[in-house]
A and B are shown apart, each in its own frame.
Chain A
Amino acid sequence: MSNKENEQEKILNEVTETDYKYGFVTDIENEYIPKGLSEETVRLISAKKNEPEWLLEFRLKAFRHFLTLEMPDWAHLNIPEIDLQDVIYYAAPKKKKELKSMDEVDPELRATFEKLGIPLDEQKQLSGVAVDAVIDSVSVKTTFKDTLAELGIIFCSFSEAVADHPDLVKKHLGSVVPYTDNYFGALNSAVFSDGSFCYIPKGVRCPMELSTYFRINAANTGQFERTLIVADEESYVSYLEGCTAPQRDENQLHAAIVEIIAEKDAEVKYSTVQNWYPGDKNGVGGIYNFVTKRGICRGDNSKISWTQVETGSAITWKYPSCILKGNNSIGEFYSVALTNNHQQADTGTKMIHIGKNTKSTIISKGISAGVSQNSYRGLVKVLKGAENARNFSQCDSLLLGDKCGAHTFPYLEVDNRSAIVEHEATTSKISEDQVFYCNQRGINTEDAIGLIVNGYAKEVLNKLPMEFAVEAQKLLQISLEGSVG
């Protein structure tokens, strides 16, 4: 094995073998800044990260704008009051890290990991995957950078990008999600700690799936990730985002921003499996997930595809969107959102048709169990100049039991007569007949529900890269455990 491969192997092992079993609290000494949100906090974060003046200015403008905004209340969510002064906005791991044993992890959670049974062996096989592990707020390590660098691909932590490629960052930061966009977007723009940056140069097809494992680690640390993906002309990249978090009693706030830019003839595929801690069976704890994800198909014939499997978080507020500016550009949104127990999700997409012959597809599969509330909220907007714009939306809801809720809020704004917009929606239940049929073939009820749910979500799961699809299937099943009986 060459040195480089050795190094890669070592890093992969480190990242994957450190008992990365979702609920694990890595014992890293944290360097905190005090709790609270103020201009001082913003300046302190920027200083800690040795940021250039222009970025501090960006943060301060965002912060000042944030102060003029109020928490949005239009979503179909019951959001407890969040005390932003009670949040630590920056925690960087110190150099040395040590791991304690799995014994310290909640046994119930451990059993879940056991069942998920993924990381160790399976992830080793993911040798085609570059992992940029974000532990808390600062990227600890970025792998495969050299291989990618040969192609001119930049894949690094956001902080590194600011240091090494300031012009690129400066040019694109906030160009898709301006700091004025929304409450949580403004907050993120002011206090974001780190994240990932990806640039694919003109004509380059990224040979591997780029993957970031986000983790929320330190107790009481708000996580404010910032991801920026720029696909230059005729380039292609598939980006994987996997999210997991340890079990906590206190609610944790997460407000991330993902911006994607696809230039002429470029294609970006962004896949997410999100299984952050959803809170316990009684709705105690869990992550509050307020995310702004948006891509712009800036050039002609470009394409952005969002695929998400959302099973985690106590509250999910998330609408990965596409601005279809270039002519013939394509936006896609494939989503499975599963809620159980007391989880609440209000998720969907926005497809903004600006260019001519733009096309968008929305496939949303909601699954609700327990006493959860699951809403699809989607906007399809066709502007005046968007001749021959097409949209197809399909929003299905599957209910388990009769105490949960499924809701669909489709919004259509069409200002061009040549546009064709279609919307289909269904609501169904898992029938006892289906479960009994499986039982009679020797399949127990839990596995039967898993089979049926995976069948229902298949259209979306098929869009995920292989290794993600396997994880997602198991996750759907595990997330529904105990919901039938």
Chain B
Amino acid sequence: MLKIEDLHASIDGKEILRGINLEINPGEVHAIMGPNGSGKSTLSSVIAGRDIYEVTHGKITFDGVDLLELSPEERACAGVFLGFQYPIEIPGVSMVNFMKTAVNEHRKYKNQDPLSASDFLKLMREKKELVEIDSKLTNRSVNEGFSGGEKKKNEIFQMAMLEPKLAVLDETDSGLDIDALRIVANGVNKLKTSENATVVITHYQRLLDYIVPDFVHVLYKGKIVKTAGKELALELEEKGYDWIKREF
């Protein structure tokens, strides 16, 4: 589904990603871990198409399409979802209006007719239940005045609405208490199918108790330096990153 080959990317002339190789297939859950500043968030931003990063070398293909040729909104419509580490507030824009616009843009991309208001509200109710999000949140402006936990839940709700093929969740666990963590993780697990894939970017092993990865990658100095099964996460939790740093 997603294939990253020798990806190099920089910001303001400073190279952050230095040759990433990664392949993700449908039905898989990948965890990307690594110490601060190793390039985890940069990788997710580059996949999503944030233009402050410059891709200097390498390729990203998504379902056989050159992803780097697509605009951020085209990537989104093609099925790439980014769960933001710091979800953005948009004052005055209601969640309903925001999601309706987003869902209908996705539908337009697939040559489907826009949803009627009643169908849309029905869909929204279903998805709210699925991810156990408080109805009040969707009546408010996008992320405005949301707590840290509410913002993260809202990301998962949006993911549920847009049904992406590939979801990249950037530090979704940061700032969550244990209850919120469980809700977020349950949401992700419920949305998992054999057709889609999830990339979980995280600092801590904790989240991986709930979202069990098939693969764990360690990102360090812009490269994936180690890949293994879920047991790697436990090892990292126990030993920290120092041994990795020593190795490379």
Contacts and interface: CB of A to CB of B under 8 A. Distances in A.
Interface stretch (A123-131, A302-310, A370-378, A451-459): A451-459
Q: Pick from A434, A437, A447 the residue with the most CB of B within 10 Å.
A: A437
Given A451-B93, A454-B92, A455-B141, A440 B77 contact: no
A442 B78 CA distance: 9
B105 A439 contact: no
A37 B69 CA distance: 61
Contacts of B49: 439-440
Interface string B210-235: 00000000000000000000000000
A399 to B, nearest CB: 15
B67 to A, nearest CB: 13
Contact of A458 (B84, B92, B105): B92
Interface in A397-448: 431-434, 436-445, 447
Nearest to B79: A442
Given A439-B73, A440-B48, A442-B106, A451 B91 contact: no
B101 A443 contact: yes
Given A451-B93, A455-B141, A437 B158 contact: no
Contacts of A437: 84, 87-88, 90
A442 B92 contact: no
B50 interface: yes
Contacts, number: 74
B102 interface: yes
A456 B89 CA distance: 12
B128 to A, nearest CB: 17
A472 B188 CA distance: 39
Contacts of B124: none
A456 B73 contact: no
Interface of A: 431-434, 436-445, 447, 451-452, 454-459
30 contacts: A436-B88, A437-B87, A437-B88, A438-B90, A438-B102, A439-B49, A440-B72, A440-B73, A440-B81, A441-B76, A441-B98, A441-B102, A441-B158, A442-B76, A442-B106, A443-B102, A444-B71, A444-B105, A445-B73, A447-B101, A451-B90, A451-B93, A451-B98, A451-B101, A452-B90, A455-B92, A456-B91, A457-B92, A458-B92, A458-B93
Interface of B: 48-50, 52, 71-73, 76-77, 81-82, 84, 87-93, 97-98, 101-102, 105-106, 109, 141, 158, 162
